Amino acid sequence: MLRVLVAEDMRLLRDTLVAALELEDDIRVVAALDRGEAIVDTAIAEQADLCIVDIDLPGVDGLTAAADLATRYPACPVLILTALSNPRHLKRAMEIGVRGFVLKDTPRRELLAAVRTVAAGGHTLDPDLAFTALRTPDSPLTDRETDVLRTFSAGADPREIAAHLNLTYGTVRNYLASAVTKLQARNKVDAVRIATASGWL
């Protein structure tokens, strides 16, 4: 019996996913969560064989939870679910050892095949996600420029960004100007648009 933990914040999708899994004779859902911070402790307590994790969970996001799970409970692989084909998320997932990465609109049969493949020690990746990731060039931004631009995209002004990231006001302005130049953007807002569309934020 394959013991599966499901973490998805949208109740309808979570309930549908649980119901689809439990129609299978060899799968048992041992926990269904709507937030990310409980994933690791619950997986350990329930001795889960596999975690199906939404990437955009409230609290602790799916990738952070997957990285923590890989450290604290490596016997339990992760299959990531996402509604968006973001190349940055895919690359991050691969870096932390996620075994599967599929879109939320994947047909039930393909999802079940992915679950069994990952649980058996294999890897699975949605072809469209793989193609998008291969076509997307690496970000020209440094990690710090990305952090600053991401914080700016959330609505923070340079002084708030400086306080949040423990930087000086002048350094934040320099990072923003550098990001605009590297992305060949018209301004900071355009830089956010370009970086987001390219999957770099």
DSSP states along 25-56: TTEEEEEEESSSTTHHHHHHHHT-SEEEEETT
Contact criterion met (CB below 8 Å) for 7 and 39 = yes
Lowest-confidence pick of 21-30, 121-130, 172-181: 121-130
Mean pLDDT of 61-71: 94
For residue 59, give the nearest of 38, 42, 80 by alpha carbon. 38
SS3 of 155-195: the string is CCCHHHHHHHHCCCHHHHHHHHHHHHHHCCCCCHHHHHHHH
Higher pLDDT, 197 or 129: 197
pLDDT band at 132 (very low <50, low <70, confident <90, very high): low
Lowest-confidence pick of 53-67, 132-146, 150-164: 132-146
Whether residue 44 has pLDDT greater than 90: yes
- 3-class SS of residue 2: strand
Give the pTM.
0.69
Place of tokens 């979570």: 14
Mean pLDDT for the chain?
Answer: 91
Lowest-confidence pick of 93-102, 110-119, 128-137, 166-175: 128-137
CA dist., res. 136 & res. 76, Å (int): 30
User: Tens of pLDDT along 86-123?
Assistant: 667 777 888 888 999 888 888 999 999 999 999 999 99
- 3-class SS of residue 166: coil
CA of residue 117 relative to chain centroid, distance: 20
